Structures are given as C-alpha cells and as structure tokens.
Amino acid sequence: MTRYAVGIDLGTTHTTLAVAPLEGDPAPPEVLSIPQRVSQGQIEAQPLLPSFLYFAHASEGPQALPWDAERTFVVGEYARARGVDAPARVIASAKSWLSHPTVDRRAGILPLGAPEDIEKISPVETSWRYLEHLVEAFDARFGGGDASLTQQDVVITVPASFDASARELTVEAALAAGIEKLTLLEEPQAALYAWTLGMGDAWRRQIAPGDVVLVVDVGGGTTDFSVIAAVDKDGALDLVRVAVGDHILLGGDNMDLALAHLVRQKLEAEGKAVDRWQQVSLVHACRVAKERLLSDASLASAPIAIASRGSALLGATLRTELTRDEVTRNIVDGFFPSVAGDARPTTRARAGLTQLGLPYASDPAVTRHLAAFLARQSGALSRLEGISRRSAGEPGERAPRLLAPTAVLFNGGVMKADPLRHRLVETLDAWLAADGAPPVRVLEGADLDLAVARGACAYALVRRGKGLRIRGGTARAYYVGIEGAVPAVPGLDPPITALCVAPFGMEEGTEAALPPHELGVVVGEAVRFRFFGSSVRRDDKAGDALDEWKPGELEEQPPIEVTLPAVGRREGDVVPVRLRSRVTEVGTLLIEAEPLRPLHADERWRVELSVRAG
C-alpha cells in the first residue's frame, strides 16, 4: 500500500527529498534529514545530500553506514570533502554527464582519470547510487516494508531542458534503485508547485488568466528557463507550460570560480602563491564573501582568509578581501549584464580536437541566454486558447520580438541575491518596454534551496487530485531523419527529410497518430535513424514530413535504433514498419516500430533512444 507522497530533487550539486503522508490530516511536505558520512567514521543526518560519490581506497577500510557495514564507496558530504584531497577518486556533476549528448551514458566513464584500482561506473549508475542512498535513508527512518521508499508515490525532478534520452536514463537509474511508482516532473514546474503550496489559497489572487509566468532557475551548475501560462478554461484557471529553454551549463559555481580567479590574481600580485588545496578553500571563501556582499548593501568589502594546509595557522594564512566593486563588476555585470533584447550569447567555435569534458556554456551572461530564449519562444502563446494576447499585425503595431512574461518566479540558490534579481528584472522590464509591454511582477516567497523537492512532493499529491495541475506535455516535437535517395556528391550531405513522429505538447499517457510513412528495417540488424527535436515547431502533426526548416529550429539528438528480432522472419529481410510514439505515465517518450504486416496482433518493437557516443 502506498502511504507517502515523495518528491526528490536529484540535483547537479545536491540531492534533497521531501515527504508527506497520503492519508489522514494533510501535512506540508517535510524535508528528510539524510544520514551520511561527514568525515572518516562519523555519520550525521543533513537535509542536503551532496551529489558526490567517492571510491574509498582499500587502505581506508569499509565506509560503513548504519545499514551497511561493508560499503566501499561514499555518497554525500564526506565524498564532497574528499573531492578536495583525492579528486581522481570522486565523481561530481553526474547529472551533467547524464545529459551529455556525445558520450555513452551507460558506459563506465566516471570518475574521469580515475586510478587503476577503481572500476569506473556510468553516469546512470552514479544517479542510481544517489537514489539508492535515499531509499536506504528513507527506509531506515520509516521502517521499510510497505513504508519503503520503493513502494511510495515518487516524483523525481529533471531540468525542463532534459531531452528524451536523459529523461529515460533518469528513470533507468530510479528503477535500478528499486523505485517502482515513479513520475518525472520538470524542475521549474516543481518550483511553481512549491510556490503555490507556500502561498496557500492566496496564490490564486496573484495569478489570473492571461498571466505568463517566467521561471528563472539558476542553480549551482545549470540555468533553466520555462514559461507557464495561466489560461481561462470554462471559467476556471488552468496552468499550461508553454516553453522550455535549452540546457545551459552555467550556474553559481561559475560565479565563485570567476571570483576565485580574481582574488588569486590579487594574491599573486602580492607575491603570495596559492596551491591546489588552497584554491578549493579560496573558491569556498569567495562564495561566502559574495553572498555576504550581495545580501548586505551596507558592506563595502568582505574579508577573505585562506588557511595553509599544514597545522600552523599563524604566519601561513593568506589574507585579502573582496570588495563590493569587484562583486558588482564580475558577478552582477559579468553574469547579468544590462543588454538589449536583441543580444544573443556568443558561441565559441569548438576546437577540432575537443577534450572529453562537459559542454559548458561559453557565454557567462544569463541575461543574454534569457534574451535568446524569449526571442526563440516569441510565438509560444500563438496556439494557446483561453489567453488574451496583444494581437500581432494590427495596423501601426509590429509583432512583439520577445515572448512577454507578466510575472517572474525565481528558483535556485543564486537567485537568493537581491542585486541579481533586481538586475534581471530591470533588464527584462527594459526589453518589455521596448516591445510596448508592461513590466513584470515578481512572485515572492519561496525557499529557493528546498523548493524543488517540496514542489515535487506537492505534485505527487496533485496527481491524486489534491490541487491544480500544470498541463503542457512534451516540450519538444520529435522527428526521424530520412536521407533522400540521391546520387552521392562528395562534400555534400544528402538532403534530409524530417518525419514528425511525436508532436509538441503530447500529454502523459497519450499516443501520437500513426504516420503514413513507411521505413524499411532489416531483420536481425540494428538499424539507426537520425533523430531531431524542436522546441519551437508547435504545429507539426505526427506524420508531417519537413523538407526544409529555418536554421536552429531543429536540433539533432543522439540517433535512435531499432532491432527486429529474427523470430518468425528471415534474417536480412527488409520489413516495412511505421513508427508510433507514446508518452508513458512516467513521463518518458516511447517510440515503437509497428510492422505493416504483423505476424500477430499488437506486434511492436521498442525503438531505443540511443545514449551512446555518436
């Protein structure tokens, strides 16, 4: 029997879990304190489980937990701390690897550059280990059995920008951890659920039909934008997620690194050297100083002191300070510059030989990424019913260049800083004014660190009919690329037709119409197709075939692959199939190949979303 609604924020830098009972008096979600190793031999329960995994060396002995005396690896605070001392044995940012489009995410690749005695694990397994730790901690607290986390209604959040394969891999990790009743939820939606939860019924006075809420989520490692519109549906308020942004690897960690670099230069100019170990303390000290300066406008500077590694503190401690001017110049102006609405992020041409690494954003300006997102999604409301829009194309009025939000909801630790929120709102208002739109309102009152887990828990309750649900479906349309049969010309790619297999906005538990086009697959062989997604083409229906599209409208995804088993057919035969797509109740995209002449009713094969290196 299911007894609890559980929300899990499986974050890039931290993982949190919120739980609420399903029966009895309704209670607000409680954030679980998660027991974890905090140092060698010591265990402590903390609400945040740092998303780090440390492979202990044989000389360190077992890394026992209250529920497992023989464990050889560590998840959580001690793993993060060991990242300073023994970085080659620690996995960080597994979530960014899970959504990395050009590595095999089921292959043992982490930690990068690990010593020989470590059996490397895959990004999927790393996420599985984090979830496994949550299952064990939950069961230790609630007793297991039918109160085990594996038996509860669990909602795991993913960035709205996660593509179909990254979502599927998240589900794979959860299933491996034994979580059975699982649903995915986009993080910005979770933030909005948490906000409505925090406001009680008062939130309905703050959002009315016609409102367009921009969720700006800047976490430790990623920046994520979503737009959720409030519409009138038969006289009642309805919320629809209408647009999501691209996956941007840019966050608070970049800001702390930028400041640490600056402070390091100051120290080196004074003739003081900073070693690798002190560099980590320096980044941490810069974060603390930055938060102090951004939260207290009366401070002109914040001191920074970095201890040496040895036991002597005096005479070996580096001392400097971070000034308000430096924070304003590097963080407020560096990451949130006041730019015009037509500003776009600069892209750096990738070097021919790219190192294996994470595809970090090359432009640090959050405001430029936001301008690009709003411009790209300027037509996001065009097909939405029940919302009054400023009509485009009226005499004397040009179509708005940017999607115009009426309200902003912030999420993520970085956005706690008032000067950053203020700068973002000020910049956004200037763009809106240039388009003749009114300024935005800021939706206040969310706990930005724990909102996502709480909101996910609230969503688990909403799914049982307790509250208003945000609709929206898939944030992309998906296409299979079919190469045209033309004579090969050296240096020229064959023309590609994009066949829509899943339209934009497919809701959970629905199936797309079967497209009329046939594809031939060879029995007994793995056949790959190029695969594309679009976050802007809202009008294509399943079966539509595109011969051309505007630059940037379609983004290539890792290829998909279908293998027809030879059972009942001759190996090597070409079998005509059609592709049908479905969005599962969990929230993942499922594509199936249906033979035109099935051997038995309901004969279908699953088409794998490839997660292998291209």
Partner 1 sequence: MLQTLPLPTRLWFAWVCFFRVLFDGGFASAAWAARGAAPALPAAPAPPSPLPPTLASTVAPEPVRALQLLSLLQREGRLVDFLQQDITTFPDADVGAAARVVHDGCRKALRAHATIEPVRSEDEGARVVLNEGFAPDDVRLTGNVGGQPPYAGVLRHRGWRATRLDLPQLMAGHDAHVLAPAEVELP
**Chain contacts with partner 1 (rule: CB under 8 A):** 35, 38-44, 64, 66, 85, 288, 303, 305-307, 309, 311-315, 317-319
**CA–CA separation, 170 vs 98, rounded Å?**
8
Q: How far is the CB of 587 from partner 1 (least distance, A)?
A: 36
Token pair in block for residue 149: 């986390």
Residue 432 · residue 240 · CB < 8 Å:
no
Nearest distance from C-beta of residue 33 to partner 1, angstroms: 10
Helices (H) and strands (E) in the chain, counts: 13, 28
Of 100, 81, 92, the residue nearest 37 (C-alpha): 81
- State in angstroms the smallest separation of the CB of 39 from partner 1: 6
On whether the CB atoms of residues 220 and 13 are closer than 8 A, the answer is yes
| CA–CA distance, 362 with 376 (Å, rounded to integer) | 19
DSSP 89: G
* 22 or 84: CB nearest partner 1: 84
**Residue 312 CB, nearest approach to partner 1 (Å):** 6
Nearer to partner 1, 42 or 355 (CB): 42
Cβ proximity to partner 1, 89 vs 95, nearer residue: 89
Residue 32 CB, shortest distance to partner 1, in Å, is: 16
Q: Which residues contact 601 (CB under 8 A, 6 or more apart)?
A: none
Nearer to partner 1, 41 or 495 (CB): 41
Nearer to partner 1, 31 or 546 (CB): 31
Task: Give the C-alpha separation, 428 to 370, whole Å.
Answer: 9
- Dist. CA 116–CA 99, nearest whole Å: 26
Q: Please state the closest distance from residue 316 (CB atom) to partner 1, in A.
A: 9
Are 289 and 302 in contact by the 8 Å Cβ rule? The answer is: yes
Q: Which is nearer to partner 1, 318 or 424 (CB)?
A: 318
The DSSP string of 417-468 is -HHHHHHHHHHHHHHHHHTT-PPPEE-----TTTHHHHHHHHHHHHTTTSSP
Please identify, using beta-carbon distances, which residue of 274 and 545 lies nearer to partner 1: 274
CB of 38 to partner 1, least distance (A): 5
Contact at 8 Å (CB) between 196 and 203? yes
244 vs 186: CA distance, rounded Å = 10
Compare residues 303 and 565 and give the one whose CB is closer to partner 1.
303
To partner 1, the closest distance from the beta carbon of 319 in angstroms equals: 4
Phi, psi dihedrals of residue 14, rounded to the nearest 5°: -140, 150
Q: How many residues does the chain have?
A: 614
Tell the smallest beta-carbon distance from residue 46 to partner 1 (Å).
8
Cis before 111? omega within 30: yes
CB-wise, 46 or 497, nearer to partner 1? 46
